[in-house]
Amino acid sequence: MKRPSAAISTLLCLLLGFVVWLPVNAGAHTETGAVGGVISGFKHPITGLDHFAAMFAVGLWGAFLGGRAMWMLPVVFPVVMAFGGALGVLGVPLPAVETGVAVSGVILGLMVACAIKPPLWLAAVIVGVFAIFHGHAHGTELPEAANALAYAVGFVICTGLLHLAGIATGLLVRWPWGRITVRAGGVAIALVGLGFLFNFL
């Protein structure tokens, strides 16, 4: 496998730092207008540990699978999630949404933990199916008064950055200790999913 340049690693690390840093800084401001909409949308995916873990897992799994999967999964997820979000916004019912969200953490975490490498199309389908649940859950929770466009911008950027944070962590697999770390991350994500599935969290 070709070694990624130092620039990619630096960029991904900066993005990871950005994800961690931004919400703290934004908390000092009041949320009004378009900026408030962006901040509100940005905060939405990271306020739920189940969503956070699953979105991080998508990036982690993509990097773990390597090759085209590294970018295809993070492309599929937000697009299908937006479709699910649209269903939620429009009030189209979807059964067992919260269960689906929790199961997504379990399955995606186990995929990484057990180092399962299915064909790319199957991985994309798995990620896509779970993305609908996540999108629907977010869509039904979207505030009525939010500036739709600003909210969507913040929401999608945050989701994408969570994927990138997962990819950045997943790139550690090139080292033996990194591979163990990434698989341990998968275990942690699966445990979070189980916690939500059985209402421990």
Partner 1 sequence: MNPGRRQLRLSRWLAAFILFLGVFPLPARAHTAINGMGEFVSGLIHPLTTPSHVLILLGLGLMIGQHTPMELKTPLRVFVPLSAVALLLTTTGFITAVHQSVLVGIALVAATLVALEKRLPPLAAGVLFAAAAIAIGLDSVVPPGVTQGVMKTLLGTWVSLVVVLLDVAIYVSFCSKRPWLKVGIRVLGSWIIAISLLVLAFSFRR
Alpha-carbon gap, residue 155 to 138, rounded angstroms: 9
- State the minimum distance, in angstroms, from the CB of residue 13 to partner 1: 15
- Two structure tokens written together for 128: 């896509």
- By rule CB under 8 A, what string of x and - marks binding of each residue 10-39 to partner 1? ------------------------x-----
Binding of partner 1 at residue 45 (CB under 8 A)?
Answer: no
Footprint of partner 1 on residues 164-193 (CB under 8 A)? none
Q: How many residues does the chain have?
A: 201
Find the helix packing angle between 176-197 and 49-65, rounded to 10°. Answer: 150
Q: Which residue blocks in 66-117 are alpha helix, DSSP H?
A: 69-89, 97-113
Binding residue count for partner 1, defined by CB under 8 A:
32
Figure out which of the listed residues 56, 64, 130, 155 binds partner 1, where binding follows CB under 8 A.
155
List 57, 111, 132, 150, residue binding partner 1 (CB under 8 A): 150
Which span sits near partner 1 by CB under 8 A: 20-28, 43-51, 142-150, 171-179? 142-150
Which one, 84 or 100, has the nearer CB to partner 1? 84
* DSSP letter string, 26-69: HTTS---HHHHHHHHHHHGGGS-HHHHHHHHHHHHHHHHH-TTH
